[in-house]
Amino acid sequence: MFTGIVTDIGRIRSRAQPAGGDTRFEIDTGYDTAGIAIGASIACSGVCLTVIETGSGWFAVQASDETLSCTTLGDWRAGRRVNLERALRAEDELGGHIVAGHVDTVGRVEAREPASGSEVFRFAVDRAFGRYIAPKGSVAVDGVSLTVNAVEDGADTRFSVNLIPHTLAVTTLGDLQQGGAINLEVDLMARYVQRMLALEPASGESSA
């Protein structure tokens, strides 16, 4: 479990896929890797991955073909910057919102515009996920907890967020350009509410 508060920007140092095996990524990091246990979970641009090896200033993870196809990881190459967050501990401050590290869909950047010292980003995602996105609600974009400004439904769902200079500086969201792909995780609470509404009995039908 995570909070969507990025604590380091890592960089892909290598990518390899042995014959018949999962893809291995080695990631340079500012974390003290001596304190990262094998088997620990780290959110890498919003994707919860398991640490399989560590070295001085780097750690390695594996990603299945399923993960590569359902996230932006399929496009990751050496040199790419990635948002990193270590798993939440019981005593940690919950500064963002509850994030599972399970990407729901890949969206795209539709626009990026300056606005009074910050920037407004507009994203487009599959309409199937639009039901979980609401104004003033939370989403995780590339692992970053963000508050939704506005939502517009059409063939796709479009939503906008406002990013202050600090967020752009301490995450990789400042690297995003129009047309770029993003990992999106909707709010877990929104998922549960939608499920409960779907299971409500029809009018006049007993719930007993």
Summarize pLDDT for 174-191 with one digit per residue, the tens.
999 999 999 999 988 777
**Among the listed ranges 17-26, 37-46, 68-77, which one has the minimum average pLDDT value?**
17-26
Residue 100 lies in a domain: no
Q: Give the residue from 183, 108, 171, 190 showing the smallest Cα distance to 142.
A: 183
Two tokens, residue 127 = 């309409």
Interacting residues of 202 by C-beta distance below 8 A, sequence separation 6+: none
Query: What does the pLDDT look like over 64-84, one tens digit per residue?
Result: 999 999 999 999 999 999 999
| SS3 (DSSP) at 138 | strand
Residues 75 and 110 in one domain: no
Residues 53 and 136 in one domain: no
The structural domain count of the chain equals 2
User: What value does the mean pLDDT take over residues 140-167?
Assistant: 96
Residue 112 lies in a domain: yes
Two tokens, residue 167 = 């967020």
Q: Give the residue from 97, 82, 118 showing the smallest Cα distance to 5.
A: 97
Residue 99 lies in a domain: no
H/E stretch holding 169: helix 165-170
Residues 81 and 111 in one domain: no
User: What value does the mean pLDDT take over residues 195-205?
Assistant: 65
Residues 145 and 190 in one domain: yes
User: What value does the mean pLDDT take over residues 157-179?
Assistant: 97
Distance CA 133, CA 184 (A): 11
CA–CA distance from 105 to each of 13, 175, 183 (Å)?
A: 25, 20, 6
Answer yes or no: is pLDDT of 35 > 60: yes
User: What value does the mean pLDDT take over residues 146-175?
Assistant: 96
Residues 112 and 191 in one domain: yes
Query: What does the pLDDT look like over 77-132, one tens digit per residue?
Result: 999 999 999 998 877 777 888 899 999 999 999 999 999 889 999 999 999 998 89
Q: Give the residue from 108, 107, 157, 109 showing the smallest Cα distance to 133.
A: 157
Range of the domain at 133: 105-196
199 vs 87 pLDDT, higher one: 87
**Contact predicate 86/196, CB 8 Å:** no
Residues 72 and 150 in one domain: no
Q: Which CATH number covers residue 129?
A: 2.40.30.20
Distance CA 94, CA 202 (A): 38
User: What value does the mean pLDDT take over residues 31-57?
Assistant: 98
Residues 46 and 119 in one domain: no
Of 86, 114, 142, the position where a domain reaches its end is: 86
Of 29, 54, 86, the position where a domain reaches its end is: 86
Q: Give the residue from 148, 140, 154, 147 showing the smallest Cα distance to 183.
A: 140
Residue 93 lies in a domain: no
Residue 10: exposure state from Cβ atoms within 10 A (0-12, 13-18, ≥19): buried
pLDDT tier, 205 (very low <50, low <70, confident <90, very high otherwise): low
Residues 121 and 77 in one domain: no
pTM above 0.85, yes or no: yes
Query: Which pLDDT belongs to residue 89?
Result: 83
